[in-house]
């Protein structure tokens, strides 16, 4: 063993009997023979390593400077500079910063492995608890502090302090009010058509139009197998602006599908269809992703987020996946000019479930709907058993 | 030029003679008639004959290559347990045949969740013959003309850019759910997939929208108008020219490939590097000068 290794205390004295026992079982093997590194024995190697490490730090510094240069010199974003089919700005910033960090890291590791003193140390573990004397002293001091502060002698002040601290929670709770109006308040106030969780902007006689272009649809426009991403005409007539427009559009998003009328195997779905054309909410009832992955041959609509699958031939019932409720169906009719219209708003809330939301059977929903809307719907060609 | 003027002048001097009108009429009639005979398309009777020959050739190809599954009259075959062996082709139209055979999907190598795309088994003449035969079975969408789908046929750059803007919105609303917002495709239920459309011929994209191949929904002309279809294709074509502004796109499949690259490649390299550092000692058997050993 090398003479310049420092003498290290092998045990502390807390458990002498245990130490004696383990030492008897397993004698301390001591340190391995020490091997030197080239940089320890050869001054030339040491010099070389020194130059190497400082070269890496220098490279890192150059890369950092290049980052700043690239930041100002290269045009970023769309229509920015392009190298090799990549955005030049991203490529240059990423590469320069990455290499700056890499060279810094390599430099530090080289330094530690080649130049920092390389000597074995051993350090024994010591008990986690403090010694009994220290613990005793700490307790005594705590008791003295309790006595001197008068916490025990003046309970009124103490209780007042605890009370005032507890009341600090109130401002935080009161500020929760700024989270916004409750659903009941929004529904009551109706700041714009279809506000609140229960309703959308769809209404009796509102035309079903193609999304993006906003043109109305005649049943004859669609072939069997056609899928249309639709919106209510209200979205495109200029009556809504800003946030209310976006909210209305997102809640009213609808998919329109024309299938062979003989494929429909639910009476309610048939009642609300026109010549095999059915309309459903585009918002998944699980966590509200917009869905239009339809398989034409099976009429199964798949949500890409969590694979909930709905059968559009059978009132949008869930046939796979985590969704808890069927997809709401929009009752369809035809107006005097021959365009597809809604017979009413969605008969049940669209989108994800919420506290006060009840789940009803499709037949119950249909009975409620018939009472309120069936008579009005006749002007749009509605009759039970399909149109 | 002067010579020409002189002769025109000489002619012009005779223009009021009694026979001049009759002569002009004769020349006009002869030239229009001659030009019509030379330039007009083949007569209807001839066309019908050509078409009949094409249909006959198509029928022969159909009987050999398609009728096993689609029936000898294209009526489709249903197995005894009620499963569809091959669907009816009556009314699917020439566009459907041109797409299915032109992309190599048909004839199908084997039934399964996904019809494989492969090199076409027929040349374009044979595909045209097959399409003519299937179109003769019932009315259906015809093969589109290049000006209907080819983004190079826009009259001006402004018109093309306006189409790309409109087509982008229609694409993002109607197509991205299955084909991914970059057109890279995605997974569908029960082992199926929506294919990437980035290497698809514009004609085939148009026909796919028109006919709804396999499990894809139809986007007929009453759903997305022909002009809007061309705009969608113009957008898809414009996406191919987009550089990767954000760096490597990793197949444009979203967070899955990004995560795999970050965890496997990124972390893997770091871990391997750390092992490599720790596995190599810097020590040697050389001894310090003046040391005991």
- pLDDT computed for residue A49 by the predictor: 93
- pLDDT computed for residue B263 by the predictor: 93
Q: Is A11 among the domain residues? A: no
CA gap A384, A78 in Å, rounded: 55
Please report, for residues B75, B144, B209, B231, the alpha-carbon distance to residue B95 in angstroms, rounded to integers and kept in the order given: 18, 7, 10, 19
Q: Is the pLDDT of residue B282 over 80?
A: no
Q: Which residue of B has its CA nearest to A303?
A: B177
Q: Is the pLDDT of residue A8 over 50?
A: no
Task: For residue A9, name the pLDDT band (cuts at 50, 70, 90).
Answer: very low
Bridging pattern class, strands A329-330 and A309-311: unpaired
Q: Is A72 among the domain residues? A: yes
- Please state the rounded mean pLDDT for residues B37-46: 61
Q: Is the pLDDT of residue B78 over 60?
A: yes
Contacts of A280 in chain B (CB under 8 A): none
Task: For residue B70, name the pLDDT band (cuts at 50, 70, 90).
Answer: very high
A207 SS3 class: strand
Out of A36, A211, A220, closest to residue B284 by CB? A36
Q: Which residue of B has its CA nearest to A255?
A: B174
Return contacts of A214-217, CB within 8 angstroms, 24+ apart.
A216/A339, A216/A340, A217/A256, A217/A339, A217/A340, A217/B222
CA gap B83, B77 in Å, rounded: 9
Q: What is the pLDDT of residues A218-256, one digit of tens each?
A: 999 999 999 999 999 999 998 999 999 999 999 999 999
- pLDDT computed for residue A14 by the predictor: 64
CA gap B133, B139 in Å, rounded: 11
Q: Which residue of A has its CA nearest to B243?
A: A85
Residue A358 and residue A234 in one domain: yes
Query: What is the ipTM score, two decimals?
Result: 0.74
- pLDDT computed for residue A31 by the predictor: 77
Whether residues B244 and A304 touch (CB distance < 8 A) is answered with: no
- The reported pTM is 0.75
Q: Is the pLDDT of residue A304 over 90?
A: no
Residue A153 and residue A217 in one domain: no
Q: What is the pLDDT of residues A337-348, one digit of tens each?
A: 999 999 999 999
- pLDDT computed for residue B5 by the predictor: 55
Domain ranges of chain B: 46-137, 146-240
Whether residues A87 and B288 touch (CB distance < 8 A) is answered with: no
- pLDDT computed for residue A248 by the predictor: 92
Same fold: B46-137 with B146-240:
yes
Interface probe with B: pick from A226, A260, A275, A278, most Cβ of B within 10 Å: A226
Task: For residue A282, name the pLDDT band (cuts at 50, 70, 90).
Answer: very high
- Please state the rounded mean pLDDT for residues A96-104: 96
Q: Does A79 touch chain B (CB under 8 A)?
A: no
A152 SS3 class: coil
- Greater confidence (A358 vs B268) lies with B268
Domain that residue A154 falls in: 133-174
Whether residues B223 and A228 touch (CB distance < 8 A) is answered with: yes
Q: What is the pLDDT of residues B180-235, one digit of tens each?
A: 888 988 888 888 889 999 889 999 999 999 999 988 999 999 999 999 999 999 99
The CATH architecture that domain B46-137 belongs to is Orthogonal Bundle (1.10)
Q: Is A281 among the domain residues? A: yes
Residue A86 and residue A152 in one domain: no
Whether residues B245 and A213 touch (CB distance < 8 A) is answered with: no
Q: How far is A157 from chain B (nearest CA, A)?
A: 57
Out of B169, B247, B288, closest to residue A36 by CB? B288
Q: Is A387 among the domain residues? A: no
Q: Work out how many domains chain A is built from and give that number.
A: 3
Q: Is A182 among the domain residues? A: no
Contacts of A220 in chain B (CB under 8 A): 222
- pLDDT computed for residue A153 by the predictor: 83
Q: Domain B146-240 belongs to what topology? A: Cytochrome Bc1 Complex; Chain D, domain 2 (1.10.760)
Whether residues B283 and A220 touch (CB distance < 8 A) is answered with: no
Q: Is the pLDDT of residue A5 over 50?
A: no
Residue A261 and residue A332 in one domain: yes
- Please state the rounded mean pLDDT for residues A209-213: 93
Residue A305 and residue A257 in one domain: yes
Q: Is A276 among the domain residues? A: yes
Whether residues B223 and A211 touch (CB distance < 8 A) is answered with: no
């Amino acid at each position: 063993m090398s003479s310049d290794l420092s003498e290290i205390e092998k045990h502390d004295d807390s458990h002498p009997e245990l130490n004696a026992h383990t030492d008897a079982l397993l004698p301390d093997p001591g340190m391995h023979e020490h091997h030197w590194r080239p940089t320890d024995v050869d001054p030339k190697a040491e010099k070389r390593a020194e130059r190497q490490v400082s070269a890496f730090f220098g490279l890192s510094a150059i890369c950092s400077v290049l980052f700043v240069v690239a930041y100002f010199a290269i045009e970023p974003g769309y229509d920015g500079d392009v190298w090799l089919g990549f955005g030049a700005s991203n490529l240059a910033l990423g590469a320069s910063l990455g290499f700056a960090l890499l060279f810094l890291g390599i430099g530090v590791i080289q330094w530690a492995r080649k130049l920092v003193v390389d000597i074995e140390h051993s350090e024994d573990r010591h008990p986690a608890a403090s010694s009994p004397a220290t613990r005793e002293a700490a307790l005594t001091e705590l008791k003295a502090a309790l006595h001197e502060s008068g916490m025990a002698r003046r309970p009124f002040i103490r209780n007042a302090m605890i009370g005032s601290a507890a009341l600090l929670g109130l401002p935080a709770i009161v500020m929760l009010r700024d989270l916004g109006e409750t659903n009941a308040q929004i529904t009551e106030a109706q700041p714009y058509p279809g506000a609140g969780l229960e309703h959308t902007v769809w209404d009796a006689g509102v035309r079903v139009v193609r999304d993006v272009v906003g043109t109305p649809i005649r049943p004859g426009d669609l072939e069997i197998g056609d899928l249309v991403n639709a919106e209510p005409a209200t979205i495109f007539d200029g009556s809504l602006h800003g946030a209310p427009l976006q909210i209305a559009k997102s809640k009213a998003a609808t998919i329109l599908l024309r299938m062979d009328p003989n494929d429909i195997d639910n009476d309610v779905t048939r009642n609300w269809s026109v010549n095999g054309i059915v309309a459903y909410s585009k918002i998944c009832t699980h966590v509200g992703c917009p869905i239009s992955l339809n398989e034409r041959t099976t009429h199964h609509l798949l949500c890409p987020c969590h694979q909930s699958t709905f059968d559009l031939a059978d009132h949008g019932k869930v046939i796979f996946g985590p969704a808890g409720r069927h997809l709401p169906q929009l009752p369809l009719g035809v107006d005097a000019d021959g365009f597809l219209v809604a017979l009413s708003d969605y008969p049940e809330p669209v989108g994800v479930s919420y506290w006060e939301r009840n789940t009803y059977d499709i037949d119950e929903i249909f009975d409620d709907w018939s009472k309120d809307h069936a008579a009005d719907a006749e002007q749009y060609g509605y009759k039970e058993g399909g149109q | 030029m002067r010579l020409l003027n002189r002769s025109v002048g000489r002619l012009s001097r005779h223009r009021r003679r009694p026979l001049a009108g009759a002569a002009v009429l004769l020349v006009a009639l002869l030239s229009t008639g001659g030009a019509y005979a030379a330039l007009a398309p083949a007569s209807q009777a001839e066309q019908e004959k050509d078409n009949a020959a094409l249909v006959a050739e198509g029928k022969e190809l159909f009987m050999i290559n398609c009728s096993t599954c689609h029936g000898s009259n294209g009526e489709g075959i249903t197995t005894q347990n009620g499963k569809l062996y091959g669907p009816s082709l009556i009314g699917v139209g020439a566009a459907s045949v041109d797409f299915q055979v032109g992309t190599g999907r048909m004839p199908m190598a084997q039934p399964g969740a996904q019809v494989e795309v492969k090199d076409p088994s027929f040349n374009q003449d044979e595909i045209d013959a097959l399409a003519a035969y299937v179109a003769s079975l019932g009315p259906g969408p015809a093969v589109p003309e290049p000006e209907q789908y080819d983004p190079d046929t826009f009259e001006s750059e402004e018109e093309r850019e306006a189409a790309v803007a409109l087509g982008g919105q229609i694409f993002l609303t109607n197509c991205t759910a299955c084909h991914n917002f970059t057109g890279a495709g995605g997974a569908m239920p029960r082992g199926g997939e929506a294919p990437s459309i980035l290497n698809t011929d514009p004609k085939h994209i148009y026909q796919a929208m028109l006919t709804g191949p396999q499990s894809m929904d139809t986007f007929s002309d009453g759903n997305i108008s022909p002009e809007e279809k061309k705009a969608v294709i113009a957008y898809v074509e414009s996406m191919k020219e987009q550089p990767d502004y954000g760096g490597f796109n990793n197949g444009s499949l979203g967070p899955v490939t990004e995560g795999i690259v970050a965890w496997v490649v990124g972390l893997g390299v770091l871990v391997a590097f750390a092992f490599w550092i720790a596995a190599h000692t810097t020590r040697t058997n050389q001894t310090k000068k003046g040391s005991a050993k």
